[in-house]
Structure 1
């Protein structure tokens, strides 16, 4: 019997990038990884963000969070260091703040075609956080899709396909229904939630505990650390201790 993990994530969320890497590291070492079903879901941290924000990522965060510039710069530097620890590149000076709605549409279209959605998501994260691409730009998304062997014309049409749009909206509605307020957010077997970019060891523990219950073995203990780093509507928290984080303020 497989176990299912539903993950809500936003391309505009740096902790989602880090959390994905940590989760996948844990999954790769899990003895029953071939019996784990992973479903990725759309989450939009800032629905009011325009297609392209007229300013830098730091300026956007200052406006959005109301924090001093020095504090925002320290936050982005700390996130970049955490990413480097997972082998990820973050260049916040190059990031172009822009709506992630179209990027989520690409992911839903890719999923419908049977493409490797994890690879497409990684490409989107790299485009946004490393390469300074505008993830709301249809030409950028078509190029990313084509690099993953998706038909360019079909991708362009898929970005506004009503079925794809409804799938994105369904994810957003589901997140609201279960009370997801910050991402990344992991739901194991539609019963247990793990919030934030937890250390890989926490995901390993969660996988093993849920596997034991499903098959069954022993009861579960609470999953994850309550203060893991995550992003919410008001911005991204930074860790207060190694490999963990602070609750979203």
Structure 2
């Protein structure tokens, strides 16, 4: 069984949805130990216009971005981020929304594509999300991405080559265009075995049902 997941690494709902899917997968694998599940991460950009490098100008915080994007008072946006941090805490995650910096995720997606080729998808995905949500780092910064890639076990020369050039650009763009083609309006977006879709950070029970449905279809 294959699960394709369109996600952006600065989307808080995507990390929540990932954790819910992981819980469901734990139960599914216990019940169906002979069924191999292949999880494939797909790139999606929530804000393609976000800057890659902020240089000396201060990066926009997540609360400031929400206030600007949706025209809400900053205090309201901050209250929403505090609520999101509480949801993270329930899952053992940490969201330091005061420090989280909004920036381009394009190069992070290119690093993720490299990681997939090295069998390091989950390690890099977790590290990039932690860098953004927990550590307040700019994940558009090549130095940050290099530390993540090398720290995950990808050869330094491969990481340096990718970050210095435009390798995997086409793969990222194909993922984004594919998402548009199948009508994805937001992330996370999960497609189970190319047949059943789940949109959003749904409860674990919804993922339980999707896995059972996809497994039943493959057995039928």
TM-score (normalised: structure 2): 0.92
- Report deviation, 1:153: 2.7
Of structures 1 and 2, the one scoring higher in RCO (CA 8 A, sep 6+) is: 2
Residues 117-145 of structure 1 deviation map (CA, whole Å, 9 limit, x = unaligned): 01210100000000011100001001001
Residue 92 of structure 1 corresponds to which residue in structure 2?
Answer: 97
Residue 16 of structure 1 corresponds to which residue in structure 2?
Answer: 14
Is the contact made by 1:127 and 1:133 (CA closer than 8 Å) also made in structure 2? Answer: yes
Residue 215 of structure 1 corresponds to which residue in structure 2?
Answer: 219
Q: CA RMSD in A?
A: 1.5
> Does 2:69 match 1:71?
no
Q: Secondary structure of 1:157's match? A: helix
- Report deviation, 1:47: 0.6
Number of residues of Structure 1 aligned to a counterpart in Structure 2: 213
- Report deviation, 1:162: 4.4
Change (3 A) 1:137 1:155: same
- Report deviation, 1:163: 4.4
State how far apart, in whole Å, the 1-side matches of 2:88 and 2:14 are: 10
Residues 198-243 of structure 1 deviation map (CA, whole Å, 9 limit, x = unaligned): 1112111110121112102xxxxxxxxxxxxxxxxxxxxxxxxxxx
Is the contact made by 1:100 and 1:135 (CA closer than 8 Å) also made in structure 2? Answer: yes
Residue 153 of structure 1 corresponds to which residue in structure 2?
Answer: 157
Map 1:116-155 to 2 at 5 A: 116-155=120-159
Residue 188 of structure 1 corresponds to which residue in structure 2?
Answer: 192
Structure 1 unaligned blocks of 5 or more = 217-249
Q: Secondary structure of 1:6's match? A: strand
Q: Secondary structure of 1:35's match? A: coil
Residue 65 of structure 2 corresponds to which residue in structure 1?
Answer: 60
